[in-house]
Structure 1
């Protein structure tokens, strides 16, 4: 049930297509305690944004631990092409990796190489924190890690959109994450930032169809809660309901407005 997703069920729910639609927090503020606070809410997962957020590896490893202590799977979005960090985050106990700018089959293979153990990839052995978190013996972790963690390729450029079927066909790519802001910029040749339009919805539905055809799951960034609801209704398996900074400022603005209203009354 959304809101009560156990860490160990996360990958299974996404792959099954029977999650009912998961909602994840999105955190760029590089403080593990912020993960602790948002993990107390009814999010199904937490994403650490290391691409546009300012997380470093130490803070991210601690953030993963805070999420897991609260019973929430933590996924990390790595900087563009930083696949060595992807392996380290999985070693630290991340439940999945989102890789931006996966624009080709070659990019997809590079991601799988870093995030999956043989025979799918070439992930190097050293999951000390992951085994501490899971309580699994080394042999069990090795046998299950490829299925218990997810490799999610971002589709956010014209090249990625054109290669979507080929990217989805790469074994070891478990699903995609659509970046509608970058995709809207790309499709308009830099003329518009318009992620929440009917024109974009047509593209999103086409990508959803391709995911279903390949038996892969689909995730997406929603600009706010209302948009996230629309995307869940559309059929996405995991959505973001706005970023941490947006939620923090909206909460502060609401409190200030409420206080001023009370003062005036």
Structure 2
């Protein structure tokens, strides 16, 4: 069994972990996140281009790069949550959890009995975590995290109930959707004061319940704010935005070519 700390161990000890976020279903991209030094990488099966086959390959690539493996499932797809933990995801994030029942159903899909109803077949998960099957069974419920996304007013109203779910390890805040619901669809304002206050309140309640708090951050200032609010798992950096910004920067470096009036090269 590996002596390296698991993501769950780091977060429960109070260590801050920044995760990269991947929408593009190309395994080398999350591996590059990992090799660049990200402690964790999240693959997005809700809004990204990943399907199950892509996710299986990419989880292994993240492990190869030395980072922790996180996956966000599509809304309500608890069966997929169970399959992804079998394939080595250390943390599952479930979007749009708005009730006690939804939180219970999600968390139970990630945990083995008696905490849940996960079916036994962790061959790949045990391999990527460098454990025998017996070791994995002993440790899985503690090492595999289930985080419910809180991103609506309905979820905020139900938060106290959601946090009573024993098999749920914590929450993960989606500020963009939260801002949409807080404004009744009038504005997207994930970094606004009202959204920030709601995030702080969610973190405070989550920590008081002895659970872990994570959040999606859109810039470095938001990471710092979230840390001081009590969040310890924070996203920062999206592959599509990296590529877009890098492409535009590279083109600006040769923008002078637009002023060149010479004709085409004729050397061949």
TM-score, structure 1 length as denominator? 0.92
User: CA offset at residue 263 of structure 1?
Assistant: 8.8
Picking from 10, 13, 22, the partner of 1:13 is 10
Aligned residue runs from structure 1 range 89-104, under 5 A? 89-104=84-99
Q: Deviations over 1:160-186 (max 9, x none)?
A: 110111111110111110000001111
Deviation at 1:261, TM superposition (A): 6.6
* Aligned counterpart, 1:112: 107
SS in 1 for 2:195: helix
User: Relative to structure 2, which stretch is displaced further, 245-254 or 114-123?
Assistant: 245-254
Give, in whole Å, the separation in 2 of the partners of 1:29 and 1:234: 30
CA distance in 2, matches of 1:77, 1:28: 10
Contact 1:28/1:52 (<8 A) preserved: yes
In the alignment of these two chains, the number of paired residues is: 257
Counterpart-to-counterpart distance in 2, 1:254 and 1:87: 41
Q: Report if the CA contact (8 A) 1:154-1:176 is conserved.
A: yes
1:8 is paired with a residue of what secondary structure? coil
SS in 1 for 2:241: helix
Given that residues 8 and 148 in structure 1 are in contact (C-alpha distance below 8 angstroms), is that contact kept between their aligned partners in structure 2?
A: no
1:125 corresponds to 2:120: yes
Q: CA RMSD in A?
A: 1.7
2:93 alignment partner, SS class: strand
How far, CA to CA, are the matches of 2:256 and 2:63 in structure 1?
40
Q: Paired residue for 1:166?
A: 161
Helix, strand or coil for the counterpart of 1:40?
Answer: helix
CA 1:7–1:229: 2 relative to 1, 3 Å? farther
| Equivalence for 1:3 | none
CA contact under 8 A between 1:221 and 1:242: conserved in structure 2? no
Q: Distance in 1 between matches of 2:195 and 2:152?
A: 13
- Scaled by the length of structure 2, the TM-score of the pair is 0.91
Deviation per CA, 1:65-87, whole angstroms, max 9, x where unpaired?
Answer: 00111111110000001011111
Deviates more, 1:222-231 or 1:243-252: 222-231
**Compared CA separation, residues 263 and 62, structure 1 to 2 (3 A):** same
The unaligned stretches of length 5 or more in structure 2 are 260-268
SS in 1 for 2:36: coil
- For residue 210 of structure 1, the aligned residue among 205, 212, 218 is 205
Q: Name the residue aligned to 1:255.
A: 250
Q: Is the 8 A contact 1:220 1:239 kept in 2?
A: yes
- Give 1:233 shift: 3.6
On the 8 A contact 2:170/2:206 being kept in 1, the answer is: yes
CA distance in 2, matches of 1:221, 1:80: 17
The 8 Å contact of residues 7 and 72 in structure 1, kept in 2 or not, is answered as: no
Q: Is the 8 A contact 1:24 1:239 kept in 2?
A: yes
Q: Helix, strand or coil for the counterpart of 2:5?
A: helix
Counterpart contact for 2:18–2:233, Cα < 8 Å: yes
Is 1:88 the equivalent of 2:78? Answer: no
Q: Distance in 1 between matches of 2:120 and 2:168?
A: 20
CA distance in 1, matches of 2:71, 2:59: 9
What residue number does 2:173 align with?
178
Q: Determine the structure 2 residue equivalent to 1:199.
A: 194
- State the match for 1:31 in structure 2: 26
